[in-house]
A = this chain, B = another copy of it.
Amino acid sequence: MRILIVNVNTTESMTEGIARAAREAASAGTEIIALTPTFGAESCEGNVESYLAALGVMDAVMKYPGEFDAVVQAGYGEHGREGLQELLDVPVIDITEAGAALAMFLGHRYAVVTTLDRTVPLIEDRLLLAGLNTHCTSVRASGMAVLELENQPERAVEAIADQAAEAVERDRAEAIVLGCGGMADLKQVIVERCDVPVVDGVTAAVKLAESLVGLGLKTSKVRTYAPARPKQLSGWPFSAA
């Protein structure tokens, strides 16, 4: 099977990191195609960037010329998943939801550790909408910006592990979800420090996508994600502009 995994920002090196993590998680026989939007922000850390990412991801998927069996949207707390579900019949998995859904099988409560404080409400909102929030005990910010994860990996690991430890001790989290598409490499350090399961959204999403495809399950088309009604659109798809 072929899974498209789409970065939400335009930074190619992050796409590569996401692809690497996805491929390590993928089963034999699963081909991972990683896409980078042709427009948007170099990193998503706010509302405008998130809305722009929603369209950038849809655009990248619509432009992809080949066939595919599932799509993973690889941004934590970003908009857009519902649009992809409307556009496509194949399963669509957002890594925010994937990480939360798997963490719920591992402990009584989970916490998310993310990048900047300003992204916390966006993540909370996405978990609320997805109905995955009741077992989320906290969303904590490490204070590291998305691109700092790449540039200052050691400081990032420490800052994130600190918050994970606080989440376990104070917020009573029993599992940690890494709240950023580019955090997969940090997993092992946090496991060692906190001794709780650590879920990375990208790899969780790959597995959930494989699961749905393997079971022959597709996006429901009866109401919320029914195909758009035929109508005049201008400026979309961007690829045609």
**Contact, CB under 8 Å: B229 / A45:** yes
**Contact, CB under 8 Å: A85 / B47:** yes
Judged by a CB distance under 8 angstroms, whether A86 is at the interface is yes
A: contact size bracket: 35 or more
**Contact, CB under 8 Å: B42 / A232:** yes
Copy number in the complex reads 6
Closest to A52 in B: B236
Judged by a CB distance under 8 angstroms, whether A13 is at the interface is no
Q: List 18 A-B contacts (CB under 8 A).
A: A40-B233, A41-B236, A47-B225, A51-B54, A51-B79, A52-B233, A97-B105, A104-B131, A106-B220, A107-B223, A118-B224, A121-B223, A122-B224, A131-B132, A195-B222, A204-B211, A207-B214, A207-B215
Judged by a CB distance under 8 angstroms, whether A102 is at the interface is yes
**Contact, CB under 8 Å: B107 / A231:** no
> In whole angstroms, what is the CA distance A134 to B135 when docked?
12
What residues on B are CB-neighbors of A233 within 8 Å? 40-42, 49, 52
Judged by a CB distance under 8 angstroms, whether A189 is at the interface is no
Judged by a CB distance under 8 angstroms, whether A197 is at the interface is yes
* Interface 1/0 per residue, A144-169 and B, CB below 8 Å: 01000000000000000000000010
Partner of A234, one of B10, B224, B226: B10
Binding site for B on A (CB under 8 A): 10, 25, 27, 38-43, 45-52, 54-56, 58, 79-80, 82-83, 85-87, 91-93, 97, 101-102, 104-109, 117-118, 120-122, 125, 128-132, 134-135, 145, 168, 172, 174-175, 195-197, 199-200, 203-204, 207-208, 210-212, 214-215, 217-226, 228-229, 231-236, 238
What residues on B are CB-neighbors of A196 within 8 Å? 220-222
With A86-B48, A93-B105, A212-B106 as known contacts, state yes or no: A40 contacts B219, CB within 8 Å.
no
Closest to A62 in B: B48
- Ordered nearest first, which 10 A-B pairs have the shortest CB separation? A39-B235, A207-B211, A107-B220, A131-B134, A108-B224, A131-B135, A174-B220, A47-B82, A47-B86, A121-B224
